[in-house]
Structure 1
Amino acid sequence: MTAPSTTSAPHKGSHWIEQWEPEDETFWETRGKRIARRNLTFSVISEHIGFSVWSMYSVLALFMGPQYGIDPAGKFFLVAMASLVGGVMRVPYGFAVARFGGRNWTIFSAGLLLVPTVALLVVMEPGTSYSTFMVVAVLTGVGGANFASSMTNINNFYPLRLKGWALGMNAGGGNIGVAVVQLMALLVIGVAGAGHPRVLLSVYVPLIVLATVLSARYMDNLGPVRNDTGAAKEAVREGHTWIMSFLYIGTFGSFIGYSFAFGLVLQNQFGRTPLQAASLTFVGPLLGSLIRPLGGQLADRIGGAKVTLWNFGLMAVAAGAVVVASVDKSLPLFIGAFIALFVLTGIGNGSTYKMIPGIFRAQAGAKGLAGEEAAVYARRLSGAAMSLIGAVGALGGLGINLALRQSFLTVGSGTGAFVAFLVYYGVCFVVTWAVYLRRSAAGVESAAAAETKPQLSYAEV
């Protein structure tokens, strides 16, 4: 999706940087690191609020009592629609960074969050039609799309050796917006009561304005970054893009899907009140967000594929515990197993996203590329793939909420959906091993037998 360009005319304005060479250690230490960290900081702020707006319906569902006339299946469908739009919109958002500049697009996308927030302020009351709520759910999807542009932008700022940490920090800081809006809802319900959802929404209007102003003041555009339609086409044809999309459904799709659905399940399967549900729902997303950078750091140290493999194994175990708790109606086991799932999704989010640039750097080595040429190849393909992978992964949230909706309609609980999730994690474990670990060992042995220098193995991505 993006490619360096040295032939285009320089951009006008103090916020455009025309030379950017993060793989050059001298450049990085003397200038690049400071600029990259500043952009990372303010990218996180805007993405954080985007996630809060995207997940707003999962919180507002706690305020929507019987007087709203919406059954559990209808609420699951509202949050599923927000998840769908957020996933689909990630593709154009990812391209927008190179077209308009990372700073410029962050200003626009942050300001755009005012549209769904103000719309919710207007319609959030009993008597509003379900179709109106559905239209506004579509609007909240733009908050989820911010992730793609933010991750694509930050990926361009950092050298390969630090991408796991940087992308983990950026995504984790954004993901935590889900937990923060849930904590804010708990505070509002506890102080003002479940009949005052507009109090929560009113808090976010000035925060959105502040994030927009900070982005304009402190962020930069990278002039060398350009849209590369050739890289986008290559990424679509590349099998690893779709394999990683499948795995990212299991990690991020689970995180956002569970974040949207956890409170609804507690209310409808375990009979929790809005206040009781709100007092529990924020814990999982909070821990999953905070631990995401650790997943990236572990991947930097021991390899993303290895971390991802064992993470999926543990997710299957935790999902099995959720199934047992659902059948036995054990609330303590259910909460404990679900929180474990959230933590594991956070680790897996960090490790899978670290794998993406590593995979394409390994392919560059296999093609005989080295040095800056290899770095350019990896940057082009990983940038293009990230938007697609992020979009497909977000659709996992749609799948989780639709599965839970159907499970509640069919058997009156989420048990059937939880069994399906367990099976999915088992398949992800097998795919990770078969594609990125089993073949890599064979590739290293083959290279050694041919007395050639072994290329970077997929086990190290």
Structure 2
Amino acid sequence: MPILTVLKSGHWPSLAGAWLHLTVSFMVWLLMGALSIPLARDLHLSDQETAWLIALPLLGGAMLRVIAGWSADWMGARRTALVILLAELAVLLWGWQGVADYQAALAFAACLGIAGASFAVALPIAGRAYPPTAQGLVLGLAASGNIGTVLILFFAPRLASTLDWHHVCAVMAGLVAVTSGLFVLLVPRERDTGRHDAAHWWQGAAGLIRHRAAYWLCFLYAVTFGGFVGLCSVLPLLLHDVYQLDALLAGSLAAACGLVGSLIRPFGGYVADRQGGLRTLYYVLPLIIGAIVAITSPSFAMAVFMMVVTAGAMGFGNGVVFQLVAEWFPKDIGLASGVVGAAGGIGGFFLPVAAGTIKGLTGSYDIGLWLFAGLGIGAWGTVMMALRADAPPAAGES
């Protein structure tokens, strides 16, 4: 079915609103990574301290995605999405006026995690506006809102070169306020705001926890999506430390990597709709593993090429995994999106912390990147075993 025909089969303004929500929220979520170089300079931070500032929003987002997924299923995705935007606005205003030392910056970074919860509401809003046959493409398009990674990595260092980083928070607060208004206009009120039955929701959660496929999808998403956001967060610092690039050029190259990974994500879902998610992952994961090992190549040109390849493969894999989420958990997509998305945030937290901490101890990012590649090898092994034994049953099957 042609892509335009698929888009016309549902309510495209809801898809646009979901995409906008996720795009701006991604900008807020990765703000600390985009500002890592001026933050490290202004606050006189060590490698380990900077790594924690970069990673804390990713961990906070991981935890809050589960809560947002619950709220999307029970209270309504639209209402939950508006709460998230208002919370982002409040945190950014605090960053503008109230963050002056490392301890406050840590708390601010953790609170930015609320933006990472957007995934658990944006995808249900988009998915419920379209028929089941369009889920892979539609969820991929909505999730391509992670292009916010590109925008923040490109623009934040440029703003910080002329403004104090506190004022960058003020600019972002204005953007979030405008987004809130557009979201209200694009996404209609839900006819049924949710299940309104906590017992029913907890039964669904218990069923999800008992299903072994949920754990597996969490692991796969921790490698693909977690690798993507973690890599994009740490790349400006890595390029600055290893190749002595200034903040603007480092941010531009990191943004280029994020652009490739963001734009290719819908095609991951599109291919998975037609070829099968597991078979597609079988070919994508080795590319991630090989490319991430070579990121710190002595050749700068080769290193940049491998960064782009890694981000692109991870972005493609993101779309594939969420096609599997929609296929296996169609009745609890908000809950499943929250749980699986949380695992992605944890994977994203692991990469910058491991790379930054080990770099502080050894002077090199290599070992931290190799550790993450080891997780990719484990994920690839599970996919190979599943293909040999046939795919796990979908949710609700015995």
**TM-score w.r.t. length of structure 2:** 0.91
In structure 2, what is the equivalent of residue 336 of structure 1? 305
1:354 aligned residue (323, 327, 335)? 323
* 1:220 counterpart SS class: coil
2:153 to 182, 207, 227: 182
Partner of residue 439, structure 1: 389
How far has the Cα of 1:144 moved from its partner?
0.6
* Alignment correspondent of 2:240: 267
Question: How far does the alpha carbon of each residue in 1:274-322 deviate from its partner, in whole angstroms, 9 at most, with x for none?
Answer: 2231231211111111110011111111111111111001111212322
Amino acid at match of 1:223: R
Give a deviation string over 1:231-273, Cα, whole Å, max 9, x none.
1110011100001100101100001101111111112222222
Which residue number corresponds to residue 91 of structure 2?
116
Q: Write the letter of the residue equivalent to 2:384.
A: W
The residue aligned with 1:296 is 269
Length-normalised TM-score, structure 1: 0.79
Q: Deviation digits for residues 321-349 of structure 1, max 9, x if unmatched?
A: 225x1xxx332221110111000011000
Paired residue type of 1:257:
G
**Larger Cα Rg: Structure 1 or Structure 2?**
1
Q: Using the TM superposition, give the Cα deviation of residue 62 of structure 1 relative to its aligned residue in structure 2, in angstroms.
A: 2.3
Q: For 2:330, which of 375, 379, 387 is the aligned residue?
A: 379
AA aligned opposite 2:67: P
Secondary structure of the residue aligned to 2:390 is: helix
1:424 aligns with 2:393: no
Residue pair 1:106, 1:212 contacting (<8 A) in 2 also: no
Question: Relative to structure 2, which stretch is displaced further, 130-139 or 59-68?
Answer: 59-68
Deviation (angstroms), 1:418: 1.5
> Structure 1: which amino acid aligns with 2:345?
A
Q: In the alignment, what sits opposite 1:203?
A: 171
Kept in 2, the 8 Å contact 1:189–1:275? The answer is: no
Give how far 1:154 is off. 2.4
Residue 152, structure 1, aligned to residue 124, structure 2:
yes
Asked if 2 retains the 8 angstrom alpha-carbon contact of 1:249 and 1:392, the reply is yes
Please give the alpha-carbon distance, in whole angstroms, between the structure 1 residues aligned to 2:153 and 2:67.
28
1:62 aligned counterpart, secondary structure: helix
Deviation at 1:382, TM superposition (A): 4.3
Q: Distance in 1 between matches of 2:135 and 2:18?
A: 15
Q: Which digits, 9 at most, give the CA deviation of each residue in 1:31-50, with x for residues without a partner? A: x9576311110111111111
In 1, Cα distance between the equivalents of 2:336 and 2:42? 45
Deviations 1:439-458 (A, max 9, x none): 228x9xxxxxxxxxxx99xx
Deviation at 1:65, TM superposition (A): 5.0
SS in 2 for 1:413: coil
> How many correspondences in the alignment?
384
| 1:318 corresponds to which of 280, 291, 296 | 291
- Structure 1: segments with no counterpart, 5+ residues: 1-28, 361-377, 444-454, 457-461
Evaluate the alpha carbon distance shift between residue 107 and residue 382 of structure 1 in structure 2; reply closer, same or farther with a 3 A threshold: closer
- Measured at CA, do residues 123 and 331 of structure 1 come closer, stay the same or move farther in structure 2, by a change above 3 Å? farther
Q: Distance in 1 between matches of 2:160 and 2:336?
A: 41
Query: Which of 88, 95, 98 matches 2:63?
Result: 88
Cα pair 1:155 1:383 within 8 Å, conserved: no
Counterpart check, 1:281 vs 2:281: no
Q: Which piece of structure 1 moves more, 208-217 or 268-277? A: 268-277
Counterpart contact for 1:94–1:149, Cα < 8 Å? yes
Equivalent of 1:63 in 24, 29, 38: 38
2:102 aligned partner:
130
Counterpart amino acid of 1:261?
V
**Is the 2:48–2:356 Cα contact (8 Å) retained in structure 1?**
yes
Report if aligned partners of 2:217, 2:340 keep a CA contact under 8 Å in 1: yes
User: How far apart are the structure 1 equivalents of 2:85 and 2:41?
Assistant: 34
Q: Distance in 1 between the 2:334 and 2:180 partners? A: 24
Is the Cα contact below 8 Å between 1:236 and 1:385 reproduced in 2? Answer: no
Amino acid at match of 2:171: V
Preserved CA contact (<8 Å) 2:29 2:113: yes
Output the CA distance in 1 between the equivalents of 2:150 and 2:81.
22
State the partner residue of 1:244. Answer: 217
The one-letter code of the counterpart of 2:221 is Y
1:16 maps to what in 2?
A: none
Which segment is superposed worse, 67-76 or 78-87?
A: 67-76
Work out the percentage of aligned pairs sharing the same amino acid: 23
Quote the Cα distance in structure 1 between the aligned partners of 2:56 and 2:285.
27
Give me the whole-angstrom Cα distance separating, in 1, the residues matched to 2:372 and 2:286: 12
Amino acid across the alignment from 2:131: P
Relative to 1, partners in 2 of residues 1:129 and 1:186: Cα closer, same or farther, differing over 3 Å? closer
Find the aligned partners of 2:254 and 2:206 in 1 and give their Cα distance: 40
Corresponding position of 1:397: 348
Give the aligned residue type for 2:90. V
One-letter code aligned to 1:177: G
AA in 1 matched with 2:151: V
| Partner-residue secondary structure (3-state), 2:295 | helix
**For 2:38, what is the secondary structure of its paired residue?**
coil
Find the counterpart in structure 2 of residue 170 from structure 1.
142
Residues in 2 aligned to 1:271 and 1:413: alpha-carbon distance in whole angstroms: 14
Amino acid in the other structure paired with 1:42: G
**SS at structure 1 position matched to 2:364:** coil
The 1-side partners of 2:258 and 2:66 are apart by 24
Task: Determine the structure 1 residue equivalent to 2:185.
Answer: 217
* Structure 1 residue 380 displacement after superposition: 2.2
Q: Equivalences for 1:401-420 in 2 at 5 Å?
A: 401-420=352-371
Q: Match for 2:302: what amino acid?
A: L
Contact kept, 8 Å, 2:159 with 2:168, in 1: the verdict is yes
Describe the SS at the equivalent of 2:294: helix
What stretches of structure 2 of length at least 5 have no aligned partner? none
Do 2:59 and 2:346's aligned partners in 1 also have CA atoms closer than 8 Å? yes
Cα distance in 2 for partners of 1:287, 1:62 equals 23
